[in-house]
Structure 1
Amino acid sequence: MARFLSKDKLEGFEKYKYNSIDTSILSNYVMHPFWNWCVQFCPVWVAPNLLTFTGFLLTVLNFLLFSYYDYGFHALTKENVTNDHIPSWVWAVTAVNLFVAYTLDGIDGKQARRTGTSGPLGELFDHGLDSYSTVLIPTCLFSIFGRDELSPLRFYFVLWNIFINFYLTHWEKYNTGVMFLPWGYDFTMFGSCILLLVTSLIGPHAWHAALPGGLTPGVLFEFVLYFSAMITSQTVILWNIYKSYRDRTGKMRPFLEAVRPLIPLLIFFVLSTAWALYSPSDVLSRAPRLFYVLTGTIFSNINCRLIVSQMSDTRCEVFNGLLVPYALVLGVVLWVRVSPMSELLLLIALTALASAAHLYYGTKVVQEMCEHFKISCFHIKPKIK
């Protein structure tokens, strides 16, 4: 049976040591003290990965709730003649779920150190699920603004901004050997919880009021995401990589090897954006949620493979197999000019295929890690005395 983790990758995981730097004021002075207090109430028999997975499932639940009440992001649009709006309790529940998920993500590493179960599997499992949450969490926030504030195409690029920032953090570690935890993550997660909670109290229509200068909250939200990404993430990442070469503290990879992980992401961005822009039936506007899930799934798969290479200190894969069926479907859509229904069916089929392939990949990688290190993912094995 084919394996995803080669011998050199497993040997690289054996040598792996976690190395991170966190300079976030919110993280160091607010969240970490809170998480240190929370983790003491967690039973020592609870596996850290179980905390991680529970938090991820809460983000999935939030996504499913909004999918039910606002599948096409029409709830807050003027053409919503049925007056079917998202109940206030949904905003409140998703705010609580997101905060609990954020907390569980914050204490899983502390629980691992507390129980003596720290290891590469925990970090891989944590960051792998986080890469999938980059589409699940923001898509819920889209329902606050809806299509009248942000078109599906504009929100597509907002998602890619989030994807790129997340990916560059791991690309940075691939080259420097250090995980520089971005400030934006904590502020975004905490701010999203507050935004959802406030929306449950005052209603989403408050975020649609006109602002001075003809701006709207949706446009301001969009601008802040792009601007903060450039200032607090992208420029900092490039500086850290440059500094690692200047001071010779990083991996010192040749230029082509250093940028190698960017190739599959760039190819995918070009393919997905071509479909978003040139779809004959404007499938992104017709089925935005499905298009976002497909994009986020393939992004997560590309990112997970980078994480594996980064942690095992092996050469990153330059090609992702999920791009083959994606390119084939795109070719059929753009050159054969299929009917709108056929294009939608192709989108559904491709989403199902990518989701199944990514789930299989993630499951097999975890199984191979557990077999190699003789551990269990969701259970703390008692130590033999």
Structure 2
Amino acid sequence: MAGYEYVSPEQLAGFDKYKYSAVDTNPLSLYIMHPFWNTIVKVFPTWLAPNLITFSGFLLVVFNFLLMAYFDPDFYASAPGHKHVPDWVWIVVGILNFIAYTLDGVDGKQARRTNSSTPLGELFDHGLDSWSCVYFVVTVYSIFGRGSTGVSVFVLYLLLWVVLFSFILSHWEKYNTGILFLPWGYDISQVTISFVYIVTAVVGVEAWYEPFLFNFLYRDLFTTMIIAWILWSPSDILEIHPRVFYFMVGTAFANITCQLIVCQMSSTRCPTLNWLLVPLFLVVLAVNSGIASSIENGLLYTLAAAFTVAHVHYGVRVVKQLSNHFQIYPFSLKKPNSD
């Protein structure tokens, strides 16, 4: 599998013709964030590759996820009678979230500033954004938490899918129209949540709680299987391992989205099914039929690990393919044939 090629010759040829087109009408983005990013980008040296900025922002989001997983593994830290997350953690998470958001807004400007814009850069940026969705949403969940004053794990699952579908629908729209219409909610949510993390450290989590519920229609095959697993799980798997379950769903979603983005950017037909659906179907079938109910927890962890390895392998191979195709280094502005 080390040399497996995920991007077909037809798709590589399609990337050669690709032109970026996006529309951003968000007043917050246009009049506040873009001027701010235009100032911040001047701090970065011109030898710094935009993809390094993108990857650094992604690592900050992952770090926030891991930090909250340590202090709030089961999302009970905000519940009465449980040990709460230290105030300094909220402050760190809020600051790092805003830095990550800033880096995500600056990377494209750095690419244009250094005349190094390529389809690989856009794919790298949006591909990591698709995986960041689950890290971001699950980290935010710790503000509300579970318990008598919190939000149920299933409601959070619905919220997660609202975010995931909003992301993939914007790229599906681009797949059909050729134009990426940037959603208003992204900039508003990033600025707001970064502020909320810090304020939470000052006023406490109770001041920010308000019950909410989302009604969502599940039409996708992947979503149907996940819902079937949740509803008929012998051990109530979502209640026992919510963080791992969210991560598994978000990682599979990221892989599906990345394949859509590759097809969209290369003007090729999008595949109907993703191969990750096969092991997921087998696990759901085995667990819900009672065949493997006794090892349900182990199967969840195995599936999450397998999806992670598969997605990382996919990402590394696609980046390598496009780097070779465009004769560039992914994390350096130096040309491969230069001295």
TM tier, shorter chain?
over 0.9
Match runs of 1:1-385 below 5 Å: 1-78=3-80, 80=81, 83-148=82-147, 149-208=150-209, 217-219=210-212, 222=213, 266-340=220-294, 342-381=295-334
- Deviation of 1:379 (Å): 0.6
Letter in 2 for 1:157: L
Q: Secondary structure at the match of 2:289?
A: helix
Inter-partner Cα distance in structure 2 for 1:358 and 1:269: 18
- Deviation of 1:162 (Å): 0.6
5+ residue gaps, structure 2, are: none
Query: CA deviation digits over 1:279-336, x for unaligned, max 9?
Result: 1110000000000000000000000000000000000011101110010000110112
Query: CA deviation digits over 1:62-104, x for unaligned, max 9?
Result: 00001001111111224x4xx4210001100000000000000
User: Identity rate of aligned residues, in percent?
Assistant: 49
Query: CA deviation digits over 1:237-294, x for unaligned, max 9?
Result: xxxxxxxxxxxxxxxxxxxxxxxxx9xx811111111111211110000000000000
Inter-partner Cα distance in structure 2 for 1:85 and 1:358: 34
- Deviation of 1:218 (Å): 3.5
- Deviation of 1:339 (Å): 4.1
Inter-partner Cα distance in structure 1 for 2:54 and 2:24: 20
Inter-partner Cα distance in structure 2 for 1:128 and 1:6: 18
Q: Secondary structure at the match of 1:40?
A: helix
Structure 1 length as normaliser, TM-score?
Answer: 0.84
Inter-partner Cα distance in structure 2 for 1:58 and 1:179: 25
Q: Secondary structure at the match of 2:23?
A: strand
Inter-partner Cα distance in structure 2 for 1:317 and 1:145: 38
CA contact (8 A) 1:207 1:218 kept: no
- Deviation of 1:177 (Å): 0.5
Per residue, is there more helix in 1 or in 2? 1
Inter-partner Cα distance in structure 2 for 1:15 and 1:381: 23
CA contact (8 A) 2:62 2:135 kept: yes
CA change 1:9–1:72 in 2 (3 A) is same
- Deviation of 1:349 (Å): 0.6
Query: Displaced runs of 4+ in structure 1, greater than 4 A?
Result: 382-385
Inter-partner Cα distance in structure 2 for 1:84 and 1:68: 12
- Deviation of 1:55 (Å): 0.2
Q: Secondary structure at the match of 1:147?
A: coil
Inter-partner Cα distance in structure 2 for 1:132 and 1:284: 20
Find the counterpart in structure 2 of residue 244 from structure 1: none
CA contact (8 A) 1:47 1:380 kept: yes
Letter in 1 for 2:269: R
- Deviation of 1:207 (Å): 2.1
RMSD over aligned Cα atoms: 1.7
- Deviation of 1:384 (Å): 6.0
CA contact (8 A) 1:280 1:337 kept: no
- The size of the alignment, in residue pairs, is 333
CA contact (8 A) 2:230 2:236 kept: yes
5+ residue gaps, structure 1, are: 209-216, 231-261
Letter in 1 for 2:76: H
CA contact (8 A) 2:153 2:238 kept: yes
Structure 2 length as normaliser, TM-score?
Answer: 0.95
Inter-partner Cα distance in structure 2 for 1:86 and 1:197: 12
Letter in 1 for 2:190: M
- Deviation of 1:2 (Å): 2.8
Inter-partner Cα distance in structure 1 for 2:192 and 2:276: 34
Inter-partner Cα distance in structure 2 for 1:22 and 1:124: 18
CA contact (8 A) 1:145 1:218 kept: no
- Deviation of 1:205 (Å): 2.1
Inter-partner Cα distance in structure 1 for 2:208 and 2:190: 19
Inter-partner Cα distance in structure 2 for 1:102 and 1:350: 30
Letter in 1 for 2:146: R
Query: CA deviation digits over 1:99-141, x for unaligned, max 9?
Result: 0000000010000000010010000000000000110001111
- Deviation of 1:338 (Å): 3.5
Inter-partner Cα distance in structure 2 for 1:145 and 1:218: 9
Q: Secondary structure at the match of 2:181?
A: strand
Letter in 2 for 1:13: F
Inter-partner Cα distance in structure 2 for 1:166 and 1:360: 22
Find the counterpart in structure 2 of residue 239 from structure 1: none
